[in-house]
Every structure is written in structure tokens, then in C-alpha cells.
Structure 1
Amino acid sequence: MNDNRNLIIAVILSALVLFGWDAVMNRFYPQPDTAVEVAEAVDAPVEGAASAPPAATSGPAPGTATQDAPIHATQPKRDLDTELASAGRVEIEAPSLAGSINLKGALIDDLVLRRHTTTIEDGGEDPVRLLAPAGTEAQYFAQFGWVGSGASFPDSKTVWEVADDARLTPETPVTLQWTAPDGTGYAIRFEIDDDYMIQATQTVANRGSNAMVAQPFAVINRTDRFADNSTWIMHTGPIGAFDDAVEFGIGYDDVEEAGTARGEGDTDWIGFTDHYWLSALIPQQGASTDSDFRTLGNTLFRADLVYDPSNVAAGATLTRTTDLFAGAKEDGVLDAYEDAGIANFGHAIDWGWFEWFERPFLWILKQLYALSGNFGVAIILLTVLIRAALFPIAQKQFASMAAMRAIQPKMKALQERYKDDKPKMQQEVMALYKKEKVNPLGGCLPIFIQMPIFFALYKVLMLSVELRHKPFVLWIKDLSAPDPAHVLNLFGLLPFDPPGLLAIGPLAILLGITMYFQFSMNPISDPVQEKIFKFMPWVLMFVMAPFAAGLLLYWVTNNILTLAQQKYLYSKNPQLREMALKEREEKRKALEAKG
């Protein structure tokens, strides 16, 4: 088994892993036809996410709530700046988050991520906006409220009171208060940390003479119009952890078709995820809750978290604390929250089956980045480390190839002697392997080792927000995006962007060239295979061009190191190349004789 054949098998198997893994897993580990159970649940409000107050004499039964009407397509969209300026608001100012709380309805509907910018152009000064007010084009907000019976409750039109100088920072919590006409007191105390967590403590004080029933709730309301699309490698949309397992099987289409969808088991957290961003509600530990996802129509969806009904006696209070995560899926931050008690929060990133391999890669990359200050350099250094680790295996592979070539005359003799008795021939060949201490599969080992390495790095580059907008050198400003320079538009001189596979950049060209030389260094005994292998690098150049620049950088570096390694090993085993050239010449003559 020669090195060219091993390499082409590696390429084919890597492609199968990249493009067929999800299909294979669904084939052998199929998901149920109905991934979620549709059930009657607490129907928390829609647009403002707050309930209309129940009638004084015939309020809704415990566990139900009325709905405000959702925004319909006929209603004009509201301007973001106008909406943020029109209502009374409490400023949010934290190291990672900034925005405001809308006092009308107690909505957290204005939030930007200070550690991440929308683009890398113009200095990348505009932070990513995650939450936006109801009715705006990118509606996405969270709210905390109550439903129940036996008292008046705040609704979407309720204007909450707060101290004039209130400002939500890690050092200064903010408490919103409202007293109902019947005297019932409500308060929401907001606290924020240095990362992406906002804690809401909801308290209701029954100041009447009779008992009341109260259900605190929290909801996240968003449109999917600007949501990232789910792919075979990455889930986006509704997400949650239920009974210590993260549910990746519910999509926007599933919720829209079923109307209401839910995870199986007790809720650890529930929300929505995009490629790099996450919003999630985390219930108070030990408190009983119900949760679901539902469609509101007109591209609007909601994640509901509703606490079980509680009887609040006259003069008593009820308190529930819910956390809202609204931020970037930084693995270190998510892991820290998981260590603090949020079950499986680090698995909000869809690592998949190779998590055990991917997360160490990301850790090593971040350490190398800390040393070099450049993620591109870190990828190159990681490639060098991988090749160094695999070098002893490569030496064994070459030794195996040398041994296989050395016994080729004996193999041919056996094949000729037992050409009419296949079982006997196989038996004798195996006996020859054993006698000569040759492992026919020894040359394949590097292939199966490099497959998970390639796939793991691919997922790391695709999923990790830490690599987003990280530059390398010159024109490569974002290693998580495709190479922006294209040959067909003369590297940006012509005013158009080539489509798909035609978007060939310098990195893809380097990939083709280095792979061509890699194939050429290893003579192929079969002339037909030789023609295929000479054509294959240019096919892969087109196939890999749309992939992340960081991935191409890894592969180009790996090819260059492989060329150096092959040159070194051939210098130590010159007979290997000579035998390969001799075999190729013999096969060429045999084919000419037949022709």
C-alpha cells in the first residue's frame, strides 16, 4: 500500500466524515419521528409577554393566562432608535453588556454585546446587537412577570417605578416596583455580572385579606427572520437542557408545524441559539416549572418558563429567582456557569460526537494564541505540533511500506502459484505476512488518525466565537470566514463576487499546488491511478475554496510539512522510491504490451 493511495483514501474518508456523518448518525441512531410533545401548557402572553389582569370576580384558573395580540404583518415595523428613545428606560452598563430595561412592561429589550462587533470593517466599532424591542425588525426580548388569580397582575401596559438615578451595573442592582389597584405589591430586582448573566428576582406581596394564586414566569420572544440557519454541523433555533441532556432536535420549523413543542424532562434551561449567540432562561434550583417553545405567527417564536402555581396567603410574599443569559457562546464563560451549577451549559455549543477531541484542540489553540498573539500563527504552530506527534507513526508507515515492497517478489510468486486456488493463496499470503512480520494495514494508520484531527479542527474553526473576526496577515482579516481574495474578480479589482466553488483564493491555490507536489513525490505504480491523482489536487482546490480560511491554512501548512517529512524519510529509505519507480515502469510496459 503506497503513500499516494493512503492519501487519497484519507481525502475520501475525510469528505465522507464531513458530509456524511450526520446522515450516518441519523441512520444508526435515529431521532424519534416526533421530537417534541405537543401539549396544553401555560399560555403566557405574546407581544409584550405579560398577561392581561384577570377579572375581579371570575379570573382565569390557576395555570392559565390570557394573551395579548401578536404583531401582524399589516402593522408597520417600528424604528429601533425611535423605540429606544420613546419609552422610560433604565440603563444597563456592564463590562460585556450594554443597553436598557423598558419600564413599560418590564422588558429587557435593548442589549448589545460589547466584546463582539458586527463587522471587521471600519475598525469594528459597532457592537453586536442581541436584543431589540417588540415591533422592530429584529424583535428579540425577555420579560419577567406573573399570572394567576385572586389579585390584580401587571401586564404589557404596566409602567414600573424605579429610583431616578437607577442604573444596572455589576455594583448597583436595580429594583422595579409596582403596586396594583388592589394593593398587591410586585417587585423585580435585576442584578448583572461581568459576563452575560442577568438575574431577576421576582417578589409578590399579598397585601389583601384573602389568599391569592400566583405563577411567576419568564419568556424570551424573538423573530426568526434574521436567525442563522441550522446546518449538518451546527444547530440553531430553539434549545434547552432537560434532565441533564441538551436538546438539539427542535427547530423553528418543528415549532411552527406543531404549534407548541417541549423538551422531555425537567427544565435545566431553555432559550434560543444562533451560530455564535445564545439567550437562555435558567429557573431557580429546586423550584417546579413548566416550559415550552411556541409559534406566535408572523415569524415570531417564544420560549416560556412558568413556575408552578403557589398559594400566597394574606400578608405573605412569594419570591422566585430566574437567570437570563444573553450573550456570546464563549466556551470558557459557558463552562464557568456550568461549574457554578447550570447543568450542561457548556454544551450549548453543538460540539457533536467529537467533543472529546475538539475541546482540547480549542484549548491548545487558545494557549498558542496567548503566546503568539495571532490565531493564524497559532493554527500553524498547532499543525507543527500535530505533525511532530505523528512523526513516529509516519516512520512506522514508511517502514511498513518498505517491508511490503521488499516481499513483493515473494507475493507475486505466491499469486502465480495459487492463481486457481484463491483460498489457498490468501492462506499463503497471510503466512508470508506472519513470517516476514509485515502488517499490511500498517500504512493506513495515519489516515485514521488524521481524519478526526481534520474534522475536529474544522468544527473548532466553525463553532468557536473566539476565532470570529480574528485576522492572520495581509488580506486575511477573518480566519473563520472563507478567503476573501478571489482570482476571478482579480482579487477585488472587478466589482463582483464569484459564486460558490468558483470563489478560488490564494489559499485554495496553495492547497492545490502543495497537494500536487505531495502526490508527485510519491510515484504511483498504476498509470491510470497516476492520472487520477494528478487531477485530484485541482478538484480539491475547488471543493475546499469555500471553507474557512483557518482550515485551509491548516491544510496548506500540513501539506508543506508532509512534503518535508516525505523528503526526509525518502532520504533515509532511497530504495523505497526506486522500487516504486521500477514498479510503475513495469506496469506501463505491461499495459503497452496489452494495448
Structure 2
Amino acid sequence: METNRNYFVAILLSVAVLVAWQFLYVSPKIEKERLAAEALQAQQAAQAPATGTGQSIPAPVTGAAPGDGAGIPSAMAPTTGMSRQDALAGSQRITIDTPALSGSINLAGARIDDILLKEYRETIDPESPNITLFSPAALNDGYFAEVGFIADAASGPAPGPDTVWTAAEGQTLTPSSPVTLTYDNGAGLVFTRVISVDEHFLFKFEDTIANSGEAAASVAGYGRITRFFKPTTAGIYVLHEGLIGVIGEEGLQEIDYSDVEDTPVMAMPKATAGWMGITDKYWAAALVPPQGAGFETRFAHFTDGRARYQSDFRSDAQTIAPGGSVTTQTLVFAGAKQVPIIDSYEEQYNILNFDLMIDWGWFYFITKPMFWLIDYLFKVFGNFGVAILATTVVVKLIFFPLANKSYVSMANMKKVQPKLEELKAKHGDDKMALQQGMMELYKKEKINPVAGCWPVLLQIPVFFALYKVLYVTIEMRHAPFFGWIQDLSAPDPTSLFNLFGLLPYDVPLFLMIGIWPLIMGITMFLQMRMNPTPPDPTQAMIFTWMPVVFTFMLATFPAGLVIYWAWNNTLSIIQQGFIMKRQGAKIELWDNLMDLFKPKSKKT
């Protein structure tokens, strides 16, 4: 019985760590994120987002040498205090217009620094502002992607952050109309850049360098994702937000903002495959250098005048013979981390582990299939909440044989409960004799007291995987269920302590005990009442109060996960009830429930 108790304690501790972490750390972070989002929304409203097409060129806002190191020109930029509209209007720009994106490209540096996501809004309110991903460097929330070149002194200047590219009038970048930019360095090198974009979030920079001079030229490429602010993050281990990349044999690199603040420059070994960028929970910006050629990667935090976070690369220099030319291709991702789109880019462009931009976690082999199952069922039913219910049924079917053995064991345990009580009365406080008597009884009745633990233990990874899917995938963001659940990735918005909205006041976050958490708690209580009562009084007390504790703690979890748990408990009660009754175990709670559905006989 000691082994049985240890298994239960291990289960309780594993789940308790998760719920305590969610209750003590995630809930305050969620509130902090909400306040930060409201402040950002107010700031963006004051800045009046707009796409500028003005022709005046301001003084350069980027520094020159000594640069950011590694020969890459500096991205340092002073804040100007101007509005977003003025910042956009004060530079020559090419408009971006796709089904998923709107914004513009700054011809100074050919920098993508103005991106709004058409398909996503700040809140579930359809009138709330669209998500702003990129902003000009002159603003407090400056954030951009840039691709440029570095040339040796003999080859003349190369287009960098201050270079104003030449473009034909009236060009608009759309999926069906790429734009062409040119730059002549006056020393024999002509740079031609064709920028294209697909209907989602991927830009393609195809650069051709032609050498019309009399001497060979040496030119290296660079690219960077630069962010001039530190966003509010959840700060939890289940989700990475910060600098990220997959660098050749070094594999996945997940670097928190605090990590790169402690180590300002993290240089990676040279690689010939991979990508790098900056990721948020649902959005990301990433660079894919020319694959097959050597490049060096850095993750950095610069504080020279204005703090900024940066993921960048510098490619090996190429020699361009007189009369010759070279062409390179760099990809820039800027948008939402939609799973099918990310996977399609990995396959189409052979990008090494590009799918790891989404934080699938340690249980990758469970988490991603779990997502595909939910996503497939969503396409069948048209509702992610219903898809979660259907997924629960599939999971129950997979574990059906093991669960049957578990419930048979519980039924046998229930049947010998009177004999256990006799042993307790016989041996009193002699725990050693009681343990020996119980082991002999289990052996005689052919009962394995540990058998009932295995289904729970094996379903813990499934629980974590589902939690991960609901928490990190954008497909669940703002996905409605029915009634008051309009966002399965957020907690149930109702609360028992204001009578589910009937009383006109808001309650603190830790008292948001909604309808679905209560349903989950009730089903958990009913299921535990069907199990054999633990002989140890302390263990029995823990199991009695556990549904109450879980009701409070899981109230801050995503509503989709609470719905899953409540539905899973309900199916388990039905399955366990039938199996235990078939084994002849008496279940008072089950009998009382079944009596409610029996037709009452008429008295004569």
C-alpha cells in the first residue's frame, strides 16, 4: 500500500506544481499583459497608424561606424517623439498590400519597418485595432527587418541602413506584383533588389550584384531583426518569448531577453543552414540567410546610446569578377505563427527546423500530433471547443484497454473494502502488521493496487500536451466555443463571486471561479467518490479536498483545457461506473445517479 500511496503522491505533486505555477505566476502575468496591451492600444491610437508615401527624406536616423560589431553597420536610432503617421510620412516608401498584411517598406535601407496584421486584432472586439508588428526605428516601439551588404574599401560603398534605394514611381508590393529597387555605388557595382511577398507572411529578397568595374570586388551580405523595446512577456517555462533561431548543428537556440542582457553578444559558430529572429507568443520575425553558403549568427543586446535587441547574420564574402555578377536570396518572415503556414515554408524552402519557431516543448512528439488532431476535427465541426470534446473521446478510445484494466482493479479494491476495514480494526495502530495483512489480502484476491495509477500517469503527458496546444498556438487565440466562452485560450470570464455577472462589480482575478471550473470541480468530486476510499486518513483527506483546490487553481487556466478536463471526467465516470458495476462492486453514488433516470412505478 506504501507503493500505491507514493504513486498517488507523485501524481498530486506533478499536477500541483503545474497548477501552483499557473496560479501564482501566470495569473499575475496575464493581468500585467492585459494592462500593457491596453497601454499599447492607447499609444497606437495616439500615434494614428497610417501608411506614409511622402517623398521627403529626413536626416539619417542610423549610426555609421563603429557599427554593431562583426562589420555590420549600426542600427542605433534616436527617438524623435514624432507620431507614427509622421514617422511614416517623413520617408520615401513603397506600400505593402496583401490579404494578410498592410504597411510599407522604407527605401532608406530597404527596411521593412511598417507591418500591420489584417487578420488579427488586439482583443475579441471586432472594432479593436489590428495587431502592429513592425514600427519605424524612430518610435519607442521601433521594430524592423533589414537586409544589406558590406564591401571592402576597394569596392566602394555597399547599400546599408542609410542607403536610399531607387524605385519606380507608383509601385505597390502585392503577391502578384514584386517591386524592383536599384543602387549604383558609383565605383562599378550595381545592386538590383527584387522584393516579392506571398499571400501570407513571407518576403523574398533576391539581390543581384553586377560588377562593371575593372577590378574584382568583395561583398558580404548581412541581415538583422532589431527591436528597440522589451515587450511584456508571460515569463513562464511553458513558453519562450525572446531571441530564437536554429543554427546548423547547434540546433535550436532560445534566448530570453534577460539572458542576452547578461551576455550582450552571443556568437554562434559558422553554419550553412538555419534561421534566426525574435519571437512573441503568437507573432514572430525571422531571417533565413542564403542556404548552403556560410554565415555567422549573433544574438545581441546593444546599449550604445539606445538599448536594442537584435538577431543578425553576416554571410561569407563573395568575390565578383569584372563583368560578372552574383545573385543571392534572403527570406524574411514577419507575421503570425500559424502552424500550417510555418510548416509549408519549411517544406517549400527547405528551412532547417523552421517549425520550431512554435514552442512545441519537450513533448513535441505528442504536442504537434495533438494539434493536428484538434485542427482536423475543427475543420470537421467548425468549432474548436467541439473539436476539443471530440479529441477527448479519441484519447479515451486510445487508453480504453488500459483504463478498463484500471477500473477492474478499482472494482476489486472496492469489493474488498469491508475486509480492509476488518484488518484496520484487528491491527489497530500496528502499521507493520496492517501492511502485511493488506499485501496478503491483495495477493489472495489477485489485486494489483498500483494498476489504477497507470492510466493517470500515462495521461499526464497528454494533459501537458493539450495545455501547450491551447496556450501557444495562435489557432486557439480568440477561438469561441458557445455562450460566454468566446476565447478558448483565455480563462472562463465568469465568476461565482458576482453571481456570474448578475451583480454589477468586477472581482479580483484570483476569485474568477467561472461556470466551467465549477463543472470541472463537480465532475472531479463525483469521479473520486466512485473510487475506493484510501485507508490512510491523511490521504483520504487530500483526495476529499483536492476537487475544491483544483477548482480554484484551474479557474485561471485556458477555458479549453478546463472544458477538456470536465468532459474527460464525465466520460470517465460513465466508463468506470459500467465496468465496476459489471464486476459486482457496489457504488452508492452510481446507484443514486441511475435511480434518477429510472421510471417511477405507479401505485395501485
2:540 maps to 1:537: no
CA contact (8 A) 1:214 1:310 kept: yes
2:378 maps to 1:377: no
Partner in structure 2 of residue 210 of structure 1: 215
Partner in structure 2 of residue 301 of structure 1: 309
Q: Measured at CA, do residues 375 and 208 of structure 1 come closer, stay the same or move farther in structure 2, by a change above 3 Å?
A: same
The one-character-per-residue Cα deviations of 1:457-482 (angstroms, maximum 9, x if unpaired) are 11110011111110111111100011
Partner in structure 2 of residue 275 of structure 1: 281
Structure 2 Cα separation of the partners of residues 448 and 48 of structure 1: 60
Name the stretch that deviates more: 434-443 or 102-111.
434-443
1:525 positional shift: 5.4
2:119 maps to 1:115: yes
Structure 2 Cα separation of the partners of residues 325 and 9 of structure 1: 43
2:392 maps to amino acid: T
CA contact (8 A) 2:227 2:310 kept: yes
Name the stretch that deviates more: 158-167 or 203-212.
203-212
2:243 maps to amino acid: P
Partner in structure 1 of residue 346 of structure 2: 338
The one-character-per-residue Cα deviations of 1:124-178 (angstroms, maximum 9, x if unpaired) are 5643221111122321111111122220233433322112232222222111112
Structure 2 Cα separation of the partners of residues 473 and 322 of structure 1: 44
Name the stretch that deviates more: 231-240 or 211-220.
211-220
2:167 maps to 1:162: yes
TM-score (norm: length of structure 2): 0.80
Structure 1 Cα separation of the partners of residues 434 and 167 of structure 2: 91
- The 5 Å alignment of 1:91-490 reads 91-121=95-125, 123=126, 126-149=129-152, 150=154, 151-244=156-249, 246-264=251-269, 266=271, 268-297=274-303, 298-340=306-348, 341-404=350-413, 409=419, 437-490=446-499
The one-character-per-residue Cα deviations of 1:513-550 (angstroms, maximum 9, x if unpaired) are 22223333446254554444332221111111111011
1:455 maps to amino acid: F
The one-character-per-residue Cα deviations of 1:412-471 (angstroms, maximum 9, x if unpaired) are 889989x99979986x98787667543332111211122112111111100111111101
1:142 maps to amino acid: A
Partner in structure 1 of residue 77 of structure 2: 70
Structure 2 Cα separation of the partners of residues 378 and 68 of structure 1: 46
Name the stretch that deviates more: 215-224 or 452-461.
215-224
1:369 positional shift: 0.9
Structure 1 Cα separation of the partners of residues 578 and 186 of structure 2: 86
Name the stretch that deviates more: 92-101 or 539-548.
92-101
Secondary structure of the residue aligned to 1:270 is strand
Structure 1 Cα separation of the partners of residues 72 and 588 of structure 2: 82
CA contact (8 A) 2:62 2:77 kept: no
2:16 maps to 1:15: yes
CA contact (8 A) 2:412 2:583 kept: no
The count of corresponding residues between Structure 1 and Structure 2 is 544
1:231 positional shift: 1.5
Q: Which runs of 5+ in 1 are unaligned?
A: 22-46, 55-59, 582-595
Secondary structure of the residue aligned to 2:245 is strand
1:77 positional shift: 3.2
Structure 2 Cα separation of the partners of residues 431 and 295 of structure 1: 66
Secondary structure of the residue aligned to 1:185 is strand
Percent identity at matched positions? 36
The one-character-per-residue Cα deviations of 1:227-254 (angstroms, maximum 9, x if unpaired) are 5344210111010101255434422122
CA contact (8 A) 1:63 1:309 kept: no
Name the stretch that deviates more: 181-190 or 528-537.
528-537
Q: Measured at CA, do residues 281 and 65 of structure 1 come closer, stay the same or move farther in structure 2, by a change above 3 Å?
A: closer
Q: Measured at CA, do residues 218 and 51 of structure 1 come closer, stay the same or move farther in structure 2, by a change above 3 Å?
A: farther
Q: Measured at CA, do residues 48 and 550 of structure 1 come closer, stay the same or move farther in structure 2, by a change above 3 Å?
A: farther
Secondary structure of the residue aligned to 1:333 is helix
Q: Measured at CA, do residues 124 and 170 of structure 1 come closer, stay the same or move farther in structure 2, by a change above 3 Å?
A: same
Q: Measured at CA, do residues 436 and 264 of structure 1 come closer, stay the same or move farther in structure 2, by a change above 3 Å?
A: farther
Structure 1 Cα separation of the partners of residues 405 and 82 of structure 2: 67
CA contact (8 A) 1:174 1:191 kept: yes
CA contact (8 A) 1:234 1:350 kept: yes
Name the stretch that deviates more: 356-365 or 224-233.
224-233
1:302 positional shift: 1.4
2:336 maps to amino acid: A
1:561 positional shift: 2.0
Q: Measured at CA, do residues 498 and 155 of structure 1 come closer, stay the same or move farther in structure 2, by a change above 3 Å?
A: same
Q: Measured at CA, do residues 443 and 521 of structure 1 come closer, stay the same or move farther in structure 2, by a change above 3 Å?
A: closer
1:569 positional shift: 3.0
Structure 2 Cα separation of the partners of residues 330 and 244 of structure 1: 26
Secondary structure of the residue aligned to 1:186 is strand
Structure 2 Cα separation of the partners of residues 367 and 516 of structure 1: 32
Structure 2 Cα separation of the partners of residues 436 and 100 of structure 1: 76
Structure 2 Cα separation of the partners of residues 125 and 470 of structure 1: 16
The one-character-per-residue Cα deviations of 1:209-238 (angstroms, maximum 9, x if unpaired) are 333322121111113432534421011101
1:494 positional shift: 6.3
Q: Measured at CA, do residues 8 and 373 of structure 1 come closer, stay the same or move farther in structure 2, by a change above 3 Å?
A: farther
1:495 positional shift: 6.9
Structure 2 Cα separation of the partners of residues 5 and 311 of structure 1: 67
1:547 maps to amino acid: F
The one-character-per-residue Cα deviations of 1:308-343 (angstroms, maximum 9, x if unpaired) are 122333333233211111121122222222223001
CA contact (8 A) 1:401 1:443 kept: yes
Structure 2 Cα separation of the partners of residues 525 and 580 of structure 1: 19
Partner in structure 1 of residue 32 of structure 2: none
Q: Which runs of 5+ in 2 are unaligned?
A: 23-58, 592-604
The one-character-per-residue Cα deviations of 1:69-92 (angstroms, maximum 9, x if unpaired) are 432xxx443311222233221122
TM-score (norm: length of structure 1): 0.81
Name the stretch that deviates more: 280-289 or 398-407.
398-407
CA contact (8 A) 1:49 1:143 kept: no
The one-character-per-residue Cα deviations of 1:104-136 (angstroms, maximum 9, x if unpaired) are 221111112233222211x25643221111122
CA contact (8 A) 1:53 1:153 kept: no
2:549 maps to amino acid: V
1:51 positional shift: 7.5
Structure 2 Cα separation of the partners of residues 493 and 577 of structure 1: 38
